[in-house]
């Protein structure tokens, strides 16, 4: 293979390598030089996680060919701390709480450094402009802006960094003895993993590298609904570097996963059903990621396409194509309190509306990734996850192993928001490592992550509210249809939660609620921040505004008139005996809104 010389100064050290001319700077830094503080988030120059400084200017290293950076001065996050001392920016990020999952942090620090090197006293607008190409899914940016201002002030005051640094101690953290509790309540103790994250020392799953490691990639369906007829991997297996191609027939245990219902295949079996675009069909294991990727294109798939359904409303009709079994209704939750129909019939004001909410992608900056290895009959999987104990049970079941032979280690997780509660790479990695006997790594590309990962459930909500002439709620009647996509995941629990919270923080004497978790051929929906509650909150709060508007009363007044109080009965009949703070919260919001002149009076 043709190679070119790559000579550069990286973090003040000379580097001299022979590399293929088409290598990205990001890959040379991470793979050849082990500088894994530079992260890959999208691979398309959109997220900024891979930012490095090239002759002092921030660039997305995923878009720079390494030969273009030859002869230049490169700074990565590992080069910020000097002589064992954190850079003031690193300190400020820790102090301001600007580090959460930490996946965006290296890129943020480097754009901030480039800014302060050029404009030591930037205003807020300049800071926001500087970081505008870097996405953060955790912090909301305010603390990042505050941290940059803090660092700028410190640098201007000539104060150097005080805290120590170093990868050797950063993973331990200070620890908090119980007796220290009173000293930390109301304060922000340092993150135990903060220093690791600001120095680039934290090892996320895709940063791990083991000797003799193989790489896995998944072949996914392109049809949303079909019967899988044939997989022919003969040509893929002839590619030099391909170690194996696994299909459902190679799974030694049970070929199914699912937190509530085991309805999702690890790999679709021949004769089995494809239920969405992105269903996994085959697993390629190869000596390099490039070879694994190339092999995917050599696998031939034959399927027999079936009619598909892409709307939950259509899916509940009797004629709709069935995704599982004889009905697309996966589960139903019903809540009845009093007599809603009778109360609606005699109410003075009745408001009915349909609300629809969209599917939402979690878009955590770190895509799904993991590494698996077998040693002494023990399978260990280091993985980006929110649910290691569940992962362990699923991997053991799929591989037909006792749980004592499976260990799952949660690697630092670059955002999850509920989306990493489901199985992603775990079972496939386990299969590959168990079968080959060698360590295996798999990490999703951004496109694959979006295709394969669960989403927030889209809802269709029909909501009717009734009140008297003073705005006192008399009844609500709600029907919620939630699209769980091809597999149940957390759908039944999400729809149940939506039903339980359908009356919001209000006391309603007569309630009739039905929620339906419905299968379609859409991407699977699972857990996401709020678990069905944000969707239904949009509906019940809109209803309160409409009732207030209809009656010509203040929206705060109608809420205060109806909100739950100590002694209230919820829609499910629970008596709230103490600690109900919603009225006080509404009053405080009203005061603040007045203070900010958001209200007329």
Report in angstroms how near the CB of residue 367 gets to ligand FES at its nearest.
12
Gap between the Cα atoms of 279 and 464, Å rounded = 38
Cβ closest to ligand FES, residue 134 vs residue 522: 134
Gap between the Cα atoms of 567 and 406, Å rounded = 49
The reply to whether 202 sits near ligand FES by the rule CB under 6 A is no
The reply to whether 93 sits near ligand FES by the rule CB under 6 A is no
- Residues within window 386-415 making contact with ligand FES, judged by CB under 6 A: 415
The reply to whether 102 sits near ligand FES by the rule CB under 6 A is yes
Q: Which of 11, 36, 61, 100 binds ligand FES (CB under 6 A)?
A: 100
Answer for the pair 392, 406: CB distance below 8 angstroms, yes or no.
yes
Which region, judged by CB under 6 A, interacts with ligand FES, from 96-104, 244-252, 260-268, 532-540?
Answer: 96-104
Report in angstroms how near the CB of residue 369 gets to ligand FES at its nearest.
15
Cβ closest to ligand FES, residue 100 vs residue 521: 100
Q: Which of 366, 368, 371, 369 is nearest to 430 (CA)?
A: 371
Cβ closest to ligand FES, residue 89 vs residue 138: 138
- Residues within window 136-195 making contact with ligand FES, judged by CB under 6 A: 136-139
Report in angstroms how near the CB of residue 178 gets to ligand FES at its nearest.
29
Cβ closest to ligand FES, residue 202 vs residue 301: 202
Which region, judged by CB under 6 A, interacts with ligand FES, from 71-79, 97-105, 242-250, 399-407?
Answer: 97-105
- Residues within window 118-147 making contact with ligand FES, judged by CB under 6 A: 136-139
Which helix (H) or strand (E) segment holds residue 370: the answer is strand 369-375
The reply to whether 103 sits near ligand FES by the rule CB under 6 A is yes
Residues contacting residue 64 through CB under 8 Å, at least 6 positions apart: 24, 25, 26, 54
The reply to whether 417 sits near ligand FES by the rule CB under 6 A is no
Size of the site for ligand FES (CB under 6 A): 11
First to last CA, the chain: 75
Q: What angle do CA 232, 248, 280 make, to 5 degrees?
A: 80
- HEC-encoded secondary structure of 69-123: HCCCEEECHHHCCECCECCHHHHHHHHCCCCCCCCCHHHHHHHHHHHHHHCCCCC
Order across the sheet with 329-337: list the strands.
329-337, 510-519, 473-485, 459-467, 349-356
The reply to whether 365 sits near ligand FES by the rule CB under 6 A is yes
Cβ closest to ligand FES, residue 204 vs residue 519: 204
Which region, judged by CB under 6 A, interacts with ligand FES, from 101-109, 163-171, 283-291, 457-465?
Answer: 101-109
The reply to whether 104 sits near ligand FES by the rule CB under 6 A is yes
Answer for the pair 563, 507: CB distance below 8 angstroms, yes or no.
yes
Gap between the Cα atoms of 37 and 33, Å rounded = 11
Report in angstroms how near the CB of residue 352 gets to ligand FES at its nearest.
41
Number of H helices, E strands in the chain: 19, 20
The reply to whether 77 sits near ligand FES by the rule CB under 6 A is no
DSSP three-state, residue 245: strand
Q: Which residue has the tokens 């990727």?
A: 293
Interface positions with ligand FES (CB under 6 A): 100-104, 136-139, 365, 415
């Amino acid at each position: 293979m043709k190679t070119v010389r790559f000579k550069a100064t990286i973090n003040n050290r000379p580097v001299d390598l022979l590399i293929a001319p088409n290598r990205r700077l990001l890959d040379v830094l991470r793979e050849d030089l082990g500088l894994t503080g530079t992260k890959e988030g999208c691979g398309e120059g959109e997220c900024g996680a891979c930012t490095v400084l090239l002759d002092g200017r921030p660039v997305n290293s995923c878009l720079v060919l390494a030969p273009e950076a030859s002869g230049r001065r490169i700074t990565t996050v590992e080069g910020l701390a000097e002589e064992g001392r954190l850079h003031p920016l690193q300190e400020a990020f820790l102090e301001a709480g600007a580090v959460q999952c930490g996946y965006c942090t290296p890129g943020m620090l480097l754009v901030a450094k480039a800014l302060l090197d050029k404009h030591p006293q930037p205003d807020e607008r300049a800071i926001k402009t500087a970081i505008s190409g870097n996405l953060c899914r955790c912090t909301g940016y305010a603390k990042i802006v505050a941290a940059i201002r803090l660092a700028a002030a410190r640098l201007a005051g000539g104060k150097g960094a005080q805290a120590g640094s170093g990868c050797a101690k950063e993973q331990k953290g200070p620890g908090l003895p119980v007796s220290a509790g009173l000293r930390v309540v109301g304060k922000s103790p340092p993150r135990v993993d903060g220093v690791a994250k600001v120095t680039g020392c934290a090892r996320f799953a895709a940063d791990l590298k083991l000797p003799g490691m193989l790489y896995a990639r998944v072949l996914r369906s392109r049809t949303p609904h079909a019967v899988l007829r044939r997989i022919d991997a003969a040509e893929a297996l002839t590619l030099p570097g391909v170690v194996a191609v696994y299909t459902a027939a190679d799974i030694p245990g049970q070929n199914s996963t699912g937190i509530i219902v085991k309805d999702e295949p690890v790999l679709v079996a021949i004769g089995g059903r494809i239920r969405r675009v992105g269903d996994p069909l085959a697993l390629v294991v190869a000596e390099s990621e490039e070879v694994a990727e190339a092999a995917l294109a050599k696998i031939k798939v034959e399927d027999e396409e079936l009619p598909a359904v892409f709307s939950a409303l259509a899916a509940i009709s009797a004629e709709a194509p069935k995704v599982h079994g004889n009905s697309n209704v996966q589960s139903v939750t019903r809540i009845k309190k009093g007599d809603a129909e009778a109360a609606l019939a005699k109410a003075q004001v009745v408001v009915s509306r349909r609300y629809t909410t969209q599917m939402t992608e979690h878009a955590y900056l770190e895509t799904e990734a993991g590494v698996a290895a077998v040693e002494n009959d023990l399978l260990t999987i280091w993985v980006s996850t929110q649910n290691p104990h569940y992962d362990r049970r699923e991997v053991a079941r799929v591989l037909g192993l006792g749980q004592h032979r499976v260990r799952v280690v949660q690697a630092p997780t670059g955002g999850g928001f509920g989306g990493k509660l489901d199985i992603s790479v775990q079972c496939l990695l386990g299969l590959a490592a168990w079968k080959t006997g060698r360590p295996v790594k798999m990490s999703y590309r951004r496109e694959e992550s979006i295709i394969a990962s669960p989403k927030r459930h889209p809802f269709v909500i029909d909501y009717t509210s009734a009140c008297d002439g003073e705005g006192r709620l008399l009844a609500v009647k709600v029907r919620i249809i939630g699209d769980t996509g091809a597999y149940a995941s957390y759908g039944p629990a999400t729809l149940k939660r939506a039903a339980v919270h359908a009356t919001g923080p209000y006391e309603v004497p007569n309630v009739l609620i039905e929620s339906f978790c419905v299968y379609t051929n859409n991407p699977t929906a699972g857990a996401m921040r709020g678990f069905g509650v944000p969707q239904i909150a949009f509906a019940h709060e809109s209803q309160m505004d409409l009732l207030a508007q209809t009656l010509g009363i203040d929206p705060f007044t109608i809420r205060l008139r109806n909100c739950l109080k100590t002694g209230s009965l919820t829609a499910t009949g629970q008596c709230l005996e103490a600690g109900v703070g919603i009225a006080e919260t509404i009053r405080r919001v009203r005061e603040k809104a007045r203070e900010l002149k958001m209200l007329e009076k």
